[in-house]
Chain A
Amino acid sequence: MVFVKAQKSRSYFKRFQVKFKRRREGKTDYRARVRLINQDKNKYNTPKYRYVVRFTNKDIVAQVISATIAGDMVLASAYAHELPQYGLKVGLTNYAAAYCTGLLLARRVLKKLDMDEEYQGNVEATGEDFSVEPAESRRPFRALLDVGLLRTTTGNRVFGALKGALDGGLDIPHSEKRFAGYNKDGKSLDAEVHRKYIYGGHVAAYMNMLMEDEPEKYQSQFSDYIKAGVEPGSLEELYKKVHAAIRADPNPKKPEKKAPKEHKRYNLKKLTYDERKQKLIERLNALNAAAGGNDDDDSDEDDE
């Protein structure tokens, strides 16, 4: 019985319905996406912005996007790999860096729309829940948080990015239930704990603990920090400076693009239709010449 393997029959393939491409790739949650994008019909073409936060292994992506039939249009974007310009060189994917990225994005969006004077947001980052107050002339910029496929647990970095955007001056409907430092039993947000996370207090505590208990592990874990000369005590100062730098100049700097390197070609280049036809004609001519003019039929291979 071993040699008869159960296969997927032809009828299985004929009836198989593929999921949407991005669902097959596991990148988009369409159930959430439909609900985020759906705009009231009596608002016609008013765009509905969503604040997208995604984490990769080494980077954080924060974007404000609106959806159209042609595709999603990005209004502004901020990446954690831009933070070195503002003075933060290490720890680019932690809670504090997420806060910085969110703050950077918010200031960029507001600057783009000329609203950054009105909506300063929360300049001094305490951990408290802060919502933008509408100013006199224009209503605050509203976006909806899009977490993607993340599990929304309390203290997740995505809420650090959310807090950064809120303090930057965007109006994002939220609840404080998922910020780091929320106490489920007491049902209250401990602002002190949250503030600690925003300034990398949890990282500093770990660094201190390792320095005392396991110095070798400290050397291996935080080697980049040591190389950059970042001490656990100076972390808070560092982040404060980064926040100030972001508020001072949120404009993105375009890096110089080098001309791409010419790579050696490892596979044959595809011929065009004309080239293939030409090759065929040459081959047939060669064949005819080799046969030595024996053909009675005047098969004219030279034209066409």
Chain B
Amino acid sequence: MQKWRATRRLLLNSYSSKSRFDHPRSNPISDHSTTISRSSSGFESWTSRIHYRHLATATIQRNPAFSTLNSDDINHFKGILGDKNVIEDEDTLLFANTDWMRKYKGSSKLLLQPRTTQEVSEVLKYCNSRRLAVVPQGGNTGLVGGSVPVFDEVIINVGSMKQVISFDKVSGVLVCEAGCILENLVCFLDNQGFIMPLDLGAKGSCQIGGNVSTNAGGLRLVRYGSLHGTVLGIEAVLANGDVLDMLGTLRKDNTGYDLKHLFIGSEGSLGIVTKVSILTPPKLSSVNLAFLACKDYSSCQKLLFEAKRRLGEILSAFEFLDNESLNLALNHLEGVRNPLPPAMHNFYVLIETTGSDESYDKEKLEAFLLRSMEDGLISDGVIAQDINQASSFWRIREGVPEALMKAGAVYKYDLSLPVETMYNLVEEMRTILGNSAKVIGYGHLGDGNLHLNISTPQYDDVILAQIEPFVYEWTSKQRGSISAEHGLGLMKANKIFYSKSHETVQLMASIKKLMDPNGILNPYKVLPYSIVSYS
């Protein structure tokens, strides 16, 4: 039996989402990203050879109004946090300075690891008084460069604040600190008979504070809704150190302006989230997963329409990937095989149902699928017969970003578009780029969210010029969002006008100025630099 268990563990680990964050052994991007150039003013510029071009039109300079760290500051931090939690060690800093995609690399010299809200408050108060810029950091799994410094901002990592504070077994309200890793919360809740309302490929490393700060979407949004609905309360620390206790656990509370929504999705630019209170759904026993093949995109759409009607309340996920995405996953991921008998299909759809009655749900799903097959919406499909088969189907869909990283350079776009026209963008991109790049499209079809990715062996400015601003303009014309769930971060800090009006952005800037007059929280990100100016 031991041999069996060991082999199973090997198999399971190769499917586990944690492997998504093992540093890829041969990453062409990291070979390029360590070039650091010195600008004439003497400050170390963060730019890398590849990434410099991304900001060709708006090369960022370090804001001279921010102070530079000195030894007094470091001693002060040691006084607040203790020596062990003030980190200047270069290897640790290298990891904290680099984002998951290995695209953005800061040059911070200091990483702080507060353990309590009080420590966060004292740190921020001091930084505000000294005008030291800071970057709030959690699991560092963001995809738009929002979690790493641009220059030498002090990194405040809340990963040490990982206690579960309370859990109400009747209402399902979980109160925990911001540094709790999502997968750990899922395990904790599993023992109680509940689940987290969000699920994403990064669950092995991402932290709930970061999820909330970026309003993470994920695979289950179509069933449980967004964090704006499921988060009941937040405790956050403002730039001046004030602790804002809005950690309510009430389902309904209409007393005044609901300020917690400001912190959900503002990517750490208005305050550091230190505690979260979230409503968790009960864990339902019957989960079924089907992996289906469709011959064209309009079949996928019709399938979505039918699924919402016929599966109704038990539908819990609806994802799609095109043929190129599947091939990428099959070629670059280990231990992954095509669930369907070998044949050329153009699109694949993953449908998951979650309900309380196993046989009823299975019958409902089978009836729906067989009928869809008779109607010609599905050309083939498989239903997972046990949890391991289901995990392997999910591994394919969740592993596409990882496969893209292994394939070379990736231009990643996360767009909200009307479902009818969504895939047209992928096809147009393919026509424009021809053989010079591989264009793939996959995503949360149930939410109207396309992940458009363009894969090339290496980064190339010519290709980038063909992609941007075409993708943003196309999206804007459809009144879509240029960032459905990834956020703006650094990558799209100047792109907000493609999806929001001037007046709206002006108001955002006013709020930012009100809450963070010195602009120390996560500078250079989210809002356009030209709008958020500081004296």
| A complexed with B | no
Binding site for B on A (CB under 8 A): none
Binding site for A on B (CB under 8 A): none
